[in-house]
Each structure stands twice: as structure tokens, then as C-alpha cells.
Amino acid sequence: MTATAAPHETAQVSEIARIIAAHLHREGPLLPILHDVQAGYGHIPAAAHSPIAEALNITRAELHGVISFYHDFKDKQAGVHVVKICRAEACQSVGANALSEAVLGKLGLDWHGTTPDGRVTVEPVYCLGLCACGPAAMVDGTLKGRATVETLLAEVTA
């Protein structure tokens, strides 16, 4: 008896193959492929690793190296809301460490963690360009200067 893939798995494999094929004509197709896969799934699913590596004639280790090098590539689905808190020196000097500890503590998370309900993911970032308005953060792509625990949590728990 042979196992058959579930319909959603077959659809995922087909979609990943389509994304790969759309970029194979490009010089240096790996990053565009990874960006499109992540745009489609919210992360780079493990099911995409072998097809990408095979299509580009690279090892899975090389692929993993690229995915893990770029902080914006995710190996699992992020929360509905993503909070990025600046960890650069300018923000640290005006309270970013205390802000980070408080936000992570209130949500019961470590860096890169997602709340059990899938609502919030908290990630470090190393400069948002708001050095004069620190501590800086980003919530769902929107910059927040002079961020506080209250303002950040109000945005993601409302």
C-alpha cells in the first residue's frame, strides 16, 4: 500500500514548483524564489527545501545557510502581528533593553517567539533608522518612535 499526499500537500508542492519555474531563467534566482515562497506561505516551509535545492543544484545545507543568514526569512509561520524591537546601541542607550524585557515578559516569549494563540511574534532588529526617537520599534511594518510597553501591546492585543 502506498501513501498518498493530502490534497493541500499536493497543492503546496505544485505551487512551490510554479514559483521555482517562474525564476529559473533569472541570474541568481535563489533570493527571488525564497521571497515568493515566503510571500505565499508566510514562511519557507520545509516542503520547499528539497525542490529548491534540486532545481538550483545546491545542497540543502547551502539553502539552510541562506535562509538562516537573512533574518527576514522565517522557517515557521509568524503571528498575526509582528513586533520588531530595535536592539542597536542608540536605542539601548534610551531603554530598549528594558522595553524588550518587559514586552517579552508580558507576552511570555523569548526572541522570535510567537504567542500560543498565534497572535503576536516578537523579533529583534538592529536599527530602524529612528535613532533620535528611541527606543524604536516596528509593529506590522509601521515604525514606532519612543516606543513604550503600553503602546506596543495596545497595538497587538486590541
Contact 112, 79 (CB under 8 A): no
Residue % of the chain over a pLDDT of 70: 94
Tell me the whole-structure pTM to 2 decimals: 0.77
88: cell is 542597536
Using alpha carbons only, what angle is made at residue 72 by residues 69 and 77, rounded to the nearest 5 degrees? 115
Local confidence band at 1 (pLDDT 50, 70, 90 cut-offs) = very low
Distance CA 24, CA 72 (A): 22
Residue ranges of alpha helices (H) inside 42-148 are 46-56, 60-69, 89-92, 96-107
What's the rounded mean pLDDT across residues 105-112?
96
Residue ranges of alpha helices (H) inside 57-135 are 60-69, 89-92, 96-107
3-state DSSP call for residue 110? Answer: coil
Who wins on pLDDT, 9 or 129? 129
Residue % of the chain over a pLDDT of 90: 85
pLDDT one-digit tens code per residue, 57-78: 999 999 999 999 998 899 889 9
Average per-residue pLDDT for the chain: 93
Architecture of domain 81-157: 3-Layer(aba) Sandwich (3.40)
Single-letter code of the amino acid located at 104: L
Relative orientation angle of helices 7-23 and 30-41, to the nearest 10 degrees? 150
Taking phi over 0 as left and psi of -120 to 50 as alpha, with beta for the rest, 57 belongs to: left
pLDDT one-digit tens code per residue, 15-46: 999 999 999 999 999 999 999 999 999 899 99
155: cell is 497595538
